[in-house]
Amino acid sequence: MWIERECQAVVQRMANQFPAILVTGARQVGKTSILRRVFPGVSYVTLDYPGHAEAAQTAADEFLDRFPPPVIIDEIQYAPSLLRHIKVRIDSDRRPGMYLLTGSQAFPLMQGVSESLAGRCGVLNLHTLSRSEILGAQSPVGEPDLVWLGGYPELYVGADPDLWFPSYVATYLERDIRNVLRVVDLRDFNRFIRACALRNAQTLNYSDLARDTGIAPNTARKWLSLLEASGVVALVEPFFGNRTKRMIKSPRLYFLDTGLAAFLAGFRSSKALFESSYVGAFWEAFIFGQVVRWFAGKGRPSPIYSWRTVNGKEVDLVLEMGGGKIVGIECKWTQHPGRSDEAGLMAFVDSQKVEAETFVVCRASAEFRLPGGAWVTDLGGLLTRLGDFGG
């Protein structure tokens, strides 16, 4: 069963404009599937096969002759030097849509793209399924189940999450971590990613994370960079009116798929998750992930920040929309938010001296406005309103 992806039109637009496109993202999010869906009949080769990867590395010109464009080249990170040879061919023939590439580990890939394919390659970061994609493909799924299960496509075409998640994590650890970081003891990294999952939607403290995992702080930084490059987590920087200060304070850590985070944190049912003290953090991470997907579906980067004062006033998400419009979002797992739930939003608007539209995103059955001006809405209502702000 094919589940329609909201970014399919963006992929097609990129291929109509650029000689090459690169679809990046975590493993098993559907990178290959979306290219084969949008470009049926195009030849395909995967560098996951060691023989193909070796040929692409050692005899690139012969490899490209063997698989002439238009061609989908899967898992390009296994032969990064191939990008230089693709550049040469593009410079002699700049027809759009010739090289359709996929790859994980976005940081090393983007370094290679910036060096070899600058101005020649459109880049799309693909995520797991969004809430609207899931609901559009099958009968309604309750919000708790969406948060707990996450959005990996295989889980919505028959895979058993009790079997799928352990296999996914084991494959990720063996293939990506051992290959990229040369980690000797994978149990250390396994403990590390589980500790990260328990810090979902929290301000990051490398020293605490390293201490709880039994590793050095520099190792924690290195490993977290890999999680970020692999599309597993995102680090959200603080918002300041003065842009030069954004990197001063600690970022906030979010798993881009709450289902993976829930598995790593040890929750084996939505009931267990939503009866725990982690419910607020996972709801916030879910809202964050859906906003990220909303922007990605439009081919745009995610202008998302957080805001917190030394005295504890905070806003979960701050968005910079087009035309200088600011949107502040508080995420609350409740059906009946009150005035206290908009206190951080009011403090943000007052201290930053900005014109902002503010929201408390919760499970309310109807929209209404709180006394301080914040709109109370559900996730669907928020995403609809973002479209009115130049999104």
pLDDT per residue over 61-86, tens digit each? 999 999 999 999 999 988 888 999 99
**Structure confidence at residue 248 as a pLDDT band (50, 70, 90):** very low
Question: Of 125, 151, 178, which closes a domain?
Answer: 125
Q: Do 380 and 261 reside in the same domain of the chain?
A: no
Together in a domain, 199 and 290: yes
Check if the beta carbon of residue 20 is closer than 8 Å to that of residue 124: no
Q: Which amino acid is at 330?
A: E
Going by C-alpha positions, the residue among 147, 169, 149, 140 that lies closest to residue 282 is: 147
In a shared domain, residues 135 and 190:
yes
- Boundary of a domain, candidates 74, 102, 125: 125
Chain-centre distance for alpha carbon 12: 21
Residue 246 belongs to some domain of the structure: yes
SS3 at position 304: strand
Domain of 147?
A: 131-295
CA pair distance 161, 151, nearest whole angstrom: 11
End-of-domain residue from the set 238, 272, 295 = 295
- Range with top average pLDDT, 99-108, 214-223, 318-327: 214-223
Q: What is the number of structural domains in the chain?
A: 3
Taking a C-beta distance cutoff of 8 angstroms, is the pair 363, 333 a contact?
A: yes
pLDDT tens per residue across span 14-39: 999 999 999 998 889 999 999 999 99
Q: With cut-offs at 50, 70 and 90, classify the pLDDT of residue 89.
A: very high
pLDDT tens digit string along 315-336?
A: 999 999 877 789 999 999 998 9
Is 155 in the same domain as 266? yes
Mean pLDDT over residues 196-224, rounded?
Answer: 94
Task: Supply the CATH number for residue 114's domain.
Answer: 3.40.50.300
The predicted structure's pLDDT at residue 244? 46
Q: Which tens digit of pLDDT belongs to each residue from 342-373?
A: 999 999 998 877 788 999 999 998 999 999 99
> In terms of DSSP bridges, do strands 326-331 and 368-369 run parallel, antiparallel, or are they unpaired?
unpaired
The residue among 184 and 260 whose pLDDT is bigger is: 260
**Can you give the pTM of this predicted structure?**
0.92
Would the pLDDT of 188 be above 90?
no
Residues 276 and 177 in one domain: yes
